Amino acid sequence: MSTPLIELRDIRKSYGGVDTPKVEVVRGISLAIHPGEFVAIVGASGSGKSTLMNILGCLDRPTSGDYLFAGKDVAQLDSDELAWLRREAFGFVFQGYHLIASGSAQENVEMPAIYAGTPAAERHARASALLDRLGLASRTGNRPHQLSGGQQQRVSIARALMNGGHIILADEPTGALDSQSGAEVMALLDELASQGHVVILITHDREVAARAKRVIEIRDGLVVSDSANEPAAPCTASPGLQAEDLRQRLDQGATHSGAWKGEMLEALQAAWRIMWINRFRTALTLLGIIIGVASVVVMLAVGEGSKRQVMAQMAAFGSNILYLSGSAPTLREPAGVISLDDVAAVSTLPQVKKIMPVIGNELMVRFGNNNQQFYVGGNNTYFPEIFNWPVVEGSFFTEADEQAAAAVAVIGQKVKQKLFGDQLDPIGQYILVENVPFQVVGILQGKGASSGDQDSDERIVVPYSAAAIRLFGSQHPEYVTIAAADSRRVAETEAAIDKLMLKLHHGKRDFELSNDAALIQAEARTQNTLSLMLGSIAAISLLVGGIGVMNIMLMTVRERTREIGIRMATGARQRDILRQFLSEAVLLSMVGGLTGIALALLIGGALLLGDIAVAFSLAAVLGAFACAVVTGVVFGFMPARKAAQLDPVKALTSE
């Protein structure tokens, strides 16, 4: 005689034990089922039939005893191999149909084939053919709630047959059906048995059981009679299926990776459907991600916009300007000093076009009763040229004023406004700078606010010599402004000045050189810090969004525990379930991310209309989107793993 397909040896199953009394529901069942058999297991309600079937179908493990499938000990199989058995060897038909409510008849039937990695075209064709054969050709697009009980049961039979259905396990398949539909389902099972499928039919109804060739009766978890033990019982092995075949295929194929593309597509479709069904809840939960992504993108865009604005402003001051100053004092060295001799020497360098020593400070300035503090700087006659800053009224002081240390002043627009108001013409008037009278000879063009705290129009320019002698009592310039001859050779000029200065100072680097480009860079760095800070605020809202995703996924997993059970019963491996829920989480956060980006563009547009500089960068948009996706993966993982690790039978029987 051939190896039995299924062999149970003293199988026992008990429930409870920790806080509830321990009940043994299956109390030592031994039986063997061979290929080609049509077996009915009959018994009163509560006698342990369903428990036994769950063990037979590898949905549940026995508490003790051995289960050999095609001679192989099932206790030794890992979860992937058990999933293979459920997918390839068994086909389940339940009393409550157990169809996935959100899928059509066609999709429900196709599910086992998706997990088996069957190509889409083949899958569609086979499912259509099966539904056609079961008389449901016109109902393929219907969802379960649009089908009658009998039709739903036929869909579940089609699903059981999808991957071959070598062993059909039917638990009270007619229990919920009217007699007509019940008879149809029984006729179908009869037909399948005659075609060589092993059919194990579980029922409490002796009349139904009588359709089977072999009837096993159980009572209180024990076999009380088995017609196979009667000498007359026939046992014809089917020509098609041999236990060895299945066993070989199990050994080879259980670990195959499946067609992840098909599964992914199916998972995404299912995810989309679930999201759509719960769209209001989904939208609310996604607000965190939407706001997070939108704020990242908008904040970075505003940061970048103002950075560009600052750079453009600074470029207006000219980019060929270098600054030379004495180095700041250290513990060991006093402050470096630049002398006017140094200035004279540097001015002879061919790379230097103009040179201007500067000495200045905030000083009290008085006109009449009007006392104000302004920046007063001693500069030379190159000032308008170096800073590209002309005089609009009167004239700049002259070389002769410089030679004579004349007490003359050129004032900025704000100084004019604040000291003289609109009425009086300042030209020719005397102002007191720290009680030294200076005559106003010219007014500078308005420059507009520069960056930082200093307003460039609140400025008074006097001859260097006058400032040094009359105001500051020092000949040494505070710093020296140098215009390079060629704005493309600023670095070269800087090197030449550096070399000369080192020589003049006998190799001592007690001076510092910088240029506008460096200042712009420094400015850009401040702006970057600002962007970073704003970005981290946005990151926090992304985190909140991630927690939202986790929350919604945990809720989904709980609500769909039964669906997870159905998927496992039709052969989904743990990693299939993990992948499905993970792709749901990722899809969810991708939708959130895209919405956030759209929102950011809208806000950006509004800001632009409000005259605020905004510069969207592709990197920021992509980065924020990637953050959203990563959030989905990170926060979706825990719920997805929770779903994947559910116990099949517990998931299936959950409410």
Q: Which does 25 bind (CB under 5 to 8 A by kind): ligand ADP, Mg ion, none?
A: ligand ADP
Determine if 252 is a binding residue for ligand ADP (CB under 6 A).
no
State both tokens at 337.
């000093």
Give CA–CA dist 510/494, Å, rounded: 15
**DSSP label of 229:** G
Q: Does residue 50 touch ligand ADP according to CB under 6 A? A: yes
Give the binding range for ligand ADP (CB under 6 A) out of 3-11, 48-56, 536-544, 614-622. Answer: 48-56
Sheet architecture: strand order including 64-69: 23-33, 6-15, 64-69, 72-73
- Nearer Cβ to ligand ADP, position 49 or 307? 49
Q: Which does 51 bind (CB under 5 to 8 A by kind): Mg ion, ligand ADP, none?
A: ligand ADP
Binds 15: which of ligand ADP, Mg ion, none (CB < 5-8 Å by kind): ligand ADP
- With CB under 6 A as the contact rule, the residue among 5, 33, 37, 49 that binds ligand ADP is 49
Helices (H), 260-321: 260-277, 279-315
Q: Which stretch binds ligand ADP (CB under 6 A): 43-51, 139-147, 234-242, 243-251?
A: 43-51
CB contact set of 292 (below 8 Å; sequence gap of 6+)? 538, 539, 540, 541, 542, 543, 544, 545, 596, 624, 627, 628
Amino acid making up residue 425: D
Shortest CB 193 distance to Mg ion, Å: 21
421 binds, among ligand ADP, Mg ion, none (CB under 5 to 8 A by kind): none
- Minimal distance in Å, beta carbon 47 to ligand ADP? 4
Comparing CB distances to ligand ADP, the nearer of 50 and 104 is 50
Nearer to ligand ADP by Cβ, of 48 and 545: the residue is 48
DSSP 536-577: HHHHHHHHHHHHHHHHHHHHHHHHTHHHHHHHHHTT--HHHH
Min. distance of Cβ 79 from Mg ion in angstroms? 25
Least Å from the CB of residue 262 to ligand ADP: 34
153 binds, among ligand ADP, Mg ion, none (CB under 5 to 8 A by kind): none
Q: How far is the CB of 246 from ligand ADP (least distance, A)?
A: 26
One residue of 17, 46, 240, 368 binding ligand ADP per CB under 6 A:
46
Asked whether position 651 contacts ligand ADP by CB under 6 A, the answer is no
- Cβ proximity to Mg ion: between 61 and 204 the closer is 204
21 binds ligand ADP (CB under 6 A): no
**Is the CB of 218 or the CB of 358 nearer to ligand ADP?**
218
Q: Minimum distance from CB of 202 to Mg ion (Å)?
A: 7
Which of residues 207 and 611 has its CB atom nearest to Mg ion in the complex?
Answer: 207
Pick what 47 binds: ligand ADP, Mg ion, none; C-beta below 5 to 8 Å, kind-dependent. Answer: ligand ADP
Q: What would the two tokens of residue 296 be?
A: 């990242």
- Give the separation between CA 386 and CA 402, rounded to whole angstroms: 17
**Does residue 423 belong to the site contacting ligand ADP (CB under 6 A)?**
no
Stretch that binds ligand ADP, among 45-53, 275-283, 451-459, 620-628 (CB under 6 A): 45-53
Distance CA(90)–CA(80), nearest Å, equals 14
Rank residues 16 and 368 by Cβ distance to ligand ADP and give the closer one: 16
Q: What are 166's two structure tokens? A: 């070598």
Of the candidate spans 40-48, 318-326, 533-541, 568-576, the one that interacts with ligand ADP by CB under 6 A turns out to be 40-48
The region of 46-54, 301-309, 585-593, 633-641 touching ligand ADP under the rule CB under 6 A is: 46-54
Q: CB burial class (10 A; 0-12, 13-18, 19+) of residue 257? A: exposed
Q: Which helix (H) or strand (E) holds 603?
A: helix 574-609
User: Which residue type, as a one-letter code, is found at position 322?
Assistant: L
Closest distance to ligand ADP from the beta carbon of 176 (Å): 14
Considering only 4, 35, 36, 48, the residue that binds ligand ADP (CB under 6 A) is 48
Which CB sits closer to Mg ion, 50 or 151?
50
The CB-of-51 to ligand ADP minimum distance in angstroms stands at 3
- According to DSSP, residue 470 is labeled I
The answer to whether 252 and 84 are in contact (CB under 8 A) is no
Nearer to Mg ion, 243 or 651 (CB): 651
DSSP per residue over 129-187, as a string? Answer: HHHHHTT-GGGTT--GGGS-HHHHHHHHHHHHHTT--SEEEEESTTTTS-HHHHHHHHH
Query: Which CB sits closer to ligand ADP, 16 or 437?
Result: 16
Give the DSSP letter string of 407-436.
-EEEE-HHHHHHHHTTTS--TT-EEEETTE
Instruction: List the one residue from 19, 45, 618, 655 that touches ligand ADP (CB under 6 A).
Output: 45
Phi/psi of residue 636, each to 5°? -85, -15
Q: How far apart are CA 150 and CA 179, in angstroms?
A: 10
Residue at 165: amino acid letter: G
In angstroms, rounded to a whole number, what is the distance separating the alpha carbons of residues 250 and 445?
A: 89
Q: What single DSSP character describes residue 338?
A: -
Cα torsion 324, 326, 329, 335 to 10°: value is: -170
Tell me whether residue 20 or residue 138 sits nearer to ligand ADP (CB atom): 20
Determine whether 6 is exposed, middle or buried from the number of CB atoms within 10 Å of its CB (0-12, 13-18, 19+).
Answer: buried
Find the binder of ligand ADP among 5, 37, 42, 47 (CB under 6 A).
47
CB of 172 to ligand ADP, least distance (A): 8
50 vs 181 by CB, closer to ligand ADP: 50
Site for ligand ADP (CB under 6 A): how many residues? 11
In the complex, minimum distance from the CB of residue 207 to ligand ADP, in angstroms, rounded to a whole number: 17
Tell whether residue 181 is a contact of ligand ADP (CB under 6 A). no
Please say which residue, 46 or 141, places its beta carbon nearer to ligand ADP.
46
51 binds ligand ADP, rule: CB under 6 A? yes
Q: Which is nearer to ligand ADP, 15 or 430 (CB)?
A: 15
Report the interface residues with Mg ion, using CB under 5 A.
Answer: 50
Pairing of strands 321-326, 222-226: unpaired
299 and 287 Cβ atoms separated by less than 8 Å: no
| Shortest Å distance, C-beta 80 to ligand ADP | 25
Q: Which stretch in 38-46, 55-63, 153-161, 438-446 sits in contact with ligand ADP by CB under 6 A?
A: 38-46
Backbone φ, ψ for residue 217 (5° rounding): -105, 130
Residue 632 Cβ, how far from ligand ADP at the closest point, in Å? 34
Task: Answer yes or no: are the C-beta atoms of 461 and 446 closer than 8 Å.
Answer: no
Position 34 contacts ligand ADP (CB under 6 A): no
Neighbour-count burial for 318-351, b at 16+ CB within 10 Å, e otherwise:
bbbbbbbbbbeeeeeeeebbbeeebbebbeebeb
Nearer to Mg ion (CB atom), residue 50 or residue 156: 50
Which residues make up the interface to ligand ADP (CB under 6 A)? 15-16, 25, 43, 45-51
